[in-house]
Amino acid sequence: MLKTVIPFGPQHPVLPEPLHLKLTVEDEVITEAIPALGFVHRGLEMLANIRDFKQMTQVVERVCGICSMIHAMCYCQGIEAIMGIEVPRRATFLRTIWSELNRMHSHLLWLGLFADSFGFESLFMQLWKIREKVLDLNEATAGNRIIVSVNVIGGVRRDLAPEQISWMLAELAEVEQEINRLGSTLLTDYTVKKRTAGKGVITKDKAFELGLAGPTLRASGVCQDMRMLGYAAFDQLDFEPVVETGGDCYARSKVRFREVLQSIDLIRQALSRIDQSEIRTKVKGRPQGETVCRVEQPRGELFYYIKADGTKNLERLRIRTPTFANIPALLSILPGMWLSDVPVAVLSIDPCISCTER
Amino acid sequence: MFKKLIQKARVKSPWLLHYDCSSCNGCDIEVLACLTPVYDIERFGIINVGNPMHADLLLVTGTVNYRNRKVLLNLHDQMPDPKLVVAIGSCALSGGIFREAYNVIGGVDKVIPVDVYVPGCPAKPEAIIDGVTLGLNVFTRSKEGRKTHAR
């Protein structure tokens, strides 16, 4: 059989982002997949030499528009660790709430795109309809739908009013009900299972060996979640990572679906335990020293290395994002798959190319 | 008469192609959100297609960099005339927050002619829909009346 090379991307309807894969195909089966990256590379880390360390909070938010809040939180936590700033208790709770809202909208977005990848368009529309409610919560509390820009070094920019908290609880109950209604379709429907179950299996050992991160890793049965470190207010909430053992595309969608419900639970806990205090401490001086900061993004472990030399610009900023860790998973599951399953497999790791290439 | 019919169809049902240059995803997911039930851009007859040869509208988000410049040019060349280019978000307008980064060329209009500019970081779905409907007037104008742009 003649070998054919089929380009997947950089402009492809299933992904809004320019991921480029060169797929070598024999008959209809993929034998090799080579990624070509760099379409979204902007050179964002080098902006640390141009912008000062406070402005960088806004720049790192634009590493990725989907998980922007968590990027900024990680960066602020890093700078706060270097400068020895104590963040007010209320601010840590507010950060937790917004980061979980961010996770919810990211997972709902992914579940929708995943449904679209196997052609279930009405499910895609329904999931995105629920997502709009989460974005409304974001807009009402933080002021913007996606890039919320609430983090500053030393705390947060906005506070929640008591009436907003009761309104949020009511909205969350509605969101939970709607998600549960769609859950039966997403998790038990025959057509969905036919396209996802048993596709792209990664065993537990293999997942550990490849060094995967986030839901992709937890779907293979490895219990690893950076929220267990207890950053922000996660040490004061009851939290148990979501773990599945299937290791296939179906298990990965199940982990993300359960994490949406878990996020609702975490927000409820945070809203009930939040107390009155300042939301921001004044920052004086400039950072000097280096640190490593790790948080859990919707896609997995996010890693920041910050080195500051006492001037207003940082000396070095290094960002390692979860998709970078998950691309090896994609390359290991693609060979042997049918060409028609490629969109499902690509989406199952939840690729975020703008994170990876920065 | 046939030409008039085609022109009318184009305004009533333009097909859309979306390309993410090097955006942060913020504007991209807002473009996708336009297609969902809450905003429902399909009521203007707009359908998201994957093939540039089927498209009348090109929505570009993000700054152009040295790697994807060729891809953008390629997509623009493959689209049949008359075509409409809508640049979405601060990055697509001028380079935005990334304009000083080493791999960034700048706004989309440095590479291809742009008809409508939609500001915002990220641009709201309402603004995107507004920009697209504004741009549809371009199809009703004669070819000479359109802006020309040296590449």
Question: Which residues does chain B have within 8 Å of residue A41's beta carbon, measured at their own beta carbons?
Answer: 22, 65, 67, 103
Task: Return phi, psi of residue A342, to 5°.
Answer: -60, -50
Question: Which residues does chain A have within 8 Å of residue B20's beta carbon, measured at their own beta carbons?
Answer: 16-18, 40
Mean predicted confidence (pLDDT) in A255-260: 89
Task: Return phi, psi of residue A100, to 5°.
Answer: -70, -35
Give yes or no for residue B145 having a pLDDT over 80: no
CATH class of the region A40-357: mainly alpha
Confidence of residue B89 (pLDDT cuts 50, 70, 90): confident
Q: Is the peptide bond before A13 cis (omega within 30 degrees of 0)?
A: no
Percent of chain B with pLDDT over 90: 0
Percent of chain A with pLDDT over 70: 99
The per-residue pLDDT for A1 is 67
The per-residue pLDDT for B149 is 41
Give yes or no for residue B27 having a pLDDT over 60: yes
CATH of the domain at B41: 3.40.50.12280
Torsion of CA A9, A13, A18, A22, to 10 degrees: -20
Question: Which residues does chain A have within 8 Å of residue B38's beta carbon, measured at their own beta carbons?
Answer: 128-129, 132
pLDDT tens column, A96-120: 999 999 999 899 988 888 888 888 8
Domains of chain B: total: 1
Residue window 24-53, chain B: list those with CB within 8 Å of chain A: 24-33, 36-38, 48-50, 52
Residue B48 belongs to a domain: yes
Chain B contact present for A36, CB below 8 A: no
CB < 8 Å & 24+ apart, contacts of A223-228: A224/A301, A225/A296, A226/A294, A226/A295, A226/A296, A226/A301, A226/A302, A227/A295, A227/A296
Indicate the length of chain B as a whole number.
Answer: 151
CA distances, A256 to each of A17, A145, A243, A333, B116 (Å): 20, 21, 10, 19, 38
Report the residue of chain B nearest A58, measured CA to CA: B97
**What is the complex's ipTM, to 2 decimals?**
0.79
Residue B125 belongs to a domain: no
Smallest CA–CA distance, residue A271 to chain B, in Å, is: 27
A44–B68 C-beta distance less than 8 A = no
Chain B contact present for A45, CB below 8 A: no
Confidence of residue A182 (pLDDT cuts 50, 70, 90): confident
Report the residue of chain A nearest B91, measured CA to CA: A62
Mean predicted confidence (pLDDT) in A133-146: 88
Residue B80 belongs to a domain: yes
The per-residue pLDDT for B151 is 34
Q: Which of A17-21, A324-328, B73-77, B118-122 has the lowest mean pLDDT?
A: A17-21
Residue B74 belongs to a domain: yes
The per-residue pLDDT for B144 is 47
A146–B26 C-beta distance less than 8 A = yes
Q: Out of A43, A132, A146, whose CB is closest to B101?
A: A43
Chain A contact present for B18, CB below 8 A: yes
Domain that holds residue B69: 14-107
Confidence of residue A13 (pLDDT cuts 50, 70, 90): low
The domains of chain A are located at: 40-357
pLDDT tens column, B30-42: 888 888 888 888 8
Chain A contact present for B20, CB below 8 A: yes
Give yes or no for residue B148 having a pLDDT over 70: no
Mean predicted confidence (pLDDT) in B14-27: 84
